[in-house]
Amino acid sequence: MVSFAIFHKGARTLRKRDRKHTKTERFREFLAEAEDILNAMGNGLIPLGRCLKAGVVDHAVLNAVFRSAHTLKGMCVLFDFKEMASLSHAMEDTLDMLRKGKASFTGEVFDAIMCAHELMVKIVAAKEDGSFVQEIEGLKLRLRACCSPMESAETDAIDKGLKSVLTEYETHRLAENLRAGKSVWSINVGFPVPGFEKGYLSLAGVLKTEAEVIATLPSERSRPEMICFDVLAGTLRDGDFLSNLLKDFSPVAVRLVAGPSALRPLSGIEAAGPPKSPATGYTLRRLGGIVRVNIEKLDRVLNIISELGALSAEVSRVAARFKDPRRATACGAELSKIDRNLEKRLSELRGAVLDVRMVPIGTLFNRFDTVLNRLSREMGKEVSMETRGDETELDKVIIEELADPLMHIIRNMVDHGIEPPRTRVALGKPVCGTVTLSAYQKDTHVVVEVKDDGAGIGVESIKARAVEKGILTAKEAAGLTRKEALDLIFLPGFSTKETVTETSGRGVGMDVVRENVSRLCGSIDIETVEGKGTRFILTIPATLAMAAPPRCTRP
């Protein structure tokens, strides 16, 4: 009986360990999914910011950001991230008011949404939300306070029967199309049951090139073995044009539902207000520890493991034959051949595993869009970002270690390098400055370049600042080479700014850049031309595990 009790106690312990392990794995998956959703949300916020500047809301972009906030809220509730769930819910409510035309899209609203996104990125990186309760509550109040109600869109011109089958959002979009001078058409179409989804997606893709798809409704018309429905679409085109556009989806019936309204268009966008300071301690590192792997890479690893299993069986067979002294010589030769094959396969396996760790650097570059957008708005500058070599692959660990150094470089470029719009116009430059991120392979290393088209770095001004701060004497400064003078910006506490701002001036940042790059066994160089721009060149190993393990020597 005692041993039976001990057995059950051990079984319960194992089950508890299994449950704990499963919970940990699920939490890691949650962090990875949350990172992906926040990345997608950030990619949507950039064009949304352009909408604010242009004075026209792209409802497709707004819907995409809304869906991201909605999905994230559900995941946070599931994994007991209660505080973050409440923040994403507040963000979802704000976005829903915007998409339904119930609130004005102002600079203050956009800035609050951006800050909420940045805080959620910070929470996921920290893997907990309990330390951010005050920040979250403050942002929730801010999101609610900045949404001023708008005059409701008049929809009396729309048939009451039609309005009864539309959602509130669809009714709003229909009214907005009419206000924009568009006509709303009902397009009746049907597809066979087996190919319904593919057919509908194809039709919607063609229709969206010339119209906005407002709603898809069940159709009163029926055809044998077909799923029929009516698509409501708003467009400036006429019925004949739509019929011709959709001629490959025959038979298609097109009829006019409502003509353009003469009502005064409602203004849903107001000028951007003064930017708010971002949350402190912001980082772009992702700490989920998850790598998205192409299935082909895993297939390669499995194939090599299968071959290693076959070689292991061969070794066992030869070892059994070694027991016969008369076969020792032949077995030795055969074992030597197996050894060479084994070494080859182990080398392939090692390379395959390293390949699994590699991720495109574009996943990192995409994170800087929202940062650059926020920085440019805060400083009253216009800055766009270009990327090259997004497909260049780096070890996942190195990607994360590069996130903050690149952020510091970009922040300094926007603050120190890119000139204000008026200055750029006076110099004959485009109003909008450009920061370019590029990466390319160089032997066993990867070169990452960050370049701007701003004012450049004045070498003499750096020397003068070093003398002023007592870092060098005037004689020592005069004897510095150009490279040595530029390297002074990496000293802790060194800054050419006279005043301290939220963004720079404390001399903190560039010393961190050099320290982090050195920790990766990499190097950093600077090329600059006054009046033309600056380029930071980071050369780093492609992976942290480049050196092959020593091979055992045999007598």
pLDDT per residue as tens digits for the range 446-496: 999 999 999 999 888 889 888 888 888 888 888 889 998 888 888 877 776
Tokens 């009516």 label which residue?
230
Angle among Cα 460, 462, 467 to the nearest 5 degrees reads: 95
Model confidence at 392, in pLDDT bands (50, 70, 90)?
A: very high
- Strand, coil or helix: what is 321? helix
Cα distance between residue 407 and residue 284, in whole Å: 8
For residues 170 and 187, state if they share a domain.
Answer: yes
Tokens 């203004």 label which residue?
267
Cα distance between residue 292 and residue 264, in whole Å: 50
Tokens (6 digits) for 481: 């080479």
Q: What is the CATH number of the domain that holds 510?
A: 3.30.565.10
For residues 397 and 534, state if they share a domain.
Answer: yes
Cα distance between residue 194 and residue 81, in whole Å: 41
Total number of domains constituting the chain: 4
Give the residue, 424 or 240, on which the prediction is more confident. Answer: 424
Q: pLDDT tens digits, residue range 493-545?
A: 777 665 545 445 444 468 888 888 888 889 999 999 999 999 999 999 887 65
pTM, two decimals, is: 0.58
- Nearest one of 415, 442, 457 to 523, comparing CA atoms: 442
pLDDT of residue 326: 64
Model confidence at 19, in pLDDT bands (50, 70, 90)?
A: low
For residues 28 and 67, state if they share a domain.
Answer: yes
Residues 6+ apart with CB under 8 A from 162: 257
As a whole number, mean pLDDT of residues 119-134 equals 86
For residues 408 and 439, state if they share a domain.
Answer: yes
Q: pLDDT tens digits, residue range 162-192?
A: 767 778 788 777 887 887 788 888 888 888 8
Residue 280 lies in a domain: no
Cα distance between residue 126 and residue 286, in whole Å: 9
- Strand, coil or helix: what is 438? strand
Tokens 């229709």 label which residue?
207
Cα distance between residue 29 and residue 293, in whole Å: 14
pLDDT of residue 264: 47
pLDDT of residue 74: 87
Q: pLDDT tens digits, residue range 317-372?
A: 766 666 666 666 666 677 777 777 777 777 777 777 777 778 889 888 988 887 88
As a whole number, mean pLDDT of residues 103-131 equals 85
The parent domain of residue 188 ranges over: 160-258
Which phi and psi (to 5°) does residue 415 adopt? -75, -50
Which phi and psi (to 5°) does residue 110 adopt? -60, -40
Cβ(289)–Cβ(333) below 8 Å: no
Q: DSSP letter for 103, please.
A: B
The identity of residue 328, as a single letter, is A
- Nearest one of 31, 23, 15 to 76, comparing CA atoms: 31
Residue 269 lies in a domain: no
For residues 375 and 302, state if they share a domain.
Answer: no
Instruction: Give percent of the chain with pLDDT exceeding 90.
Output: 13
pLDDT of residue 271: 44
pLDDT of residue 280: 43
The count of residues in the chain is: 555
Q: Which of 89-93, 175-179, 414-418 bottoms out in mean pLDDT, i.e. has the lowest?
A: 175-179
- Nearest one of 212, 151, 217 to 182, comparing CA atoms: 212
Residue 263 lies in a domain: no
Cα distance between residue 63 and residue 92, in whole Å: 10
> Is pLDDT at 382 greater than 50 in this prediction?
yes
Q: Which of 1-15, 306-320, 425-439 bottoms out in mean pLDDT, i.e. has the lowest?
A: 1-15
Tokens (6 digits) for 98: 């915007």
Instruction: Give percent of the chain with pLDDT exceeding 70.
Output: 77
Residue 150 lies in a domain: no
In terms of phi and psi (left: phi > 0; alpha: psi -120 to 50; beta: otherwise), the region of 346 is alpha
For residues 119 and 228, state if they share a domain.
Answer: no
Q: How many C-beta atoms lie closer than 10 Å to residue 425's C-beta?
A: 12
pLDDT of residue 432: 92
Q: What is the CATH number of the domain that holds 133?
A: 1.20.120.160
pLDDT of residue 532: 92
Which of 197-201, 228-232, 318-322, 462-466 is modeled with the greatest confidence?
Answer: 462-466
For residues 195 and 240, state if they share a domain.
Answer: yes
Residue 432 lies in a domain: yes
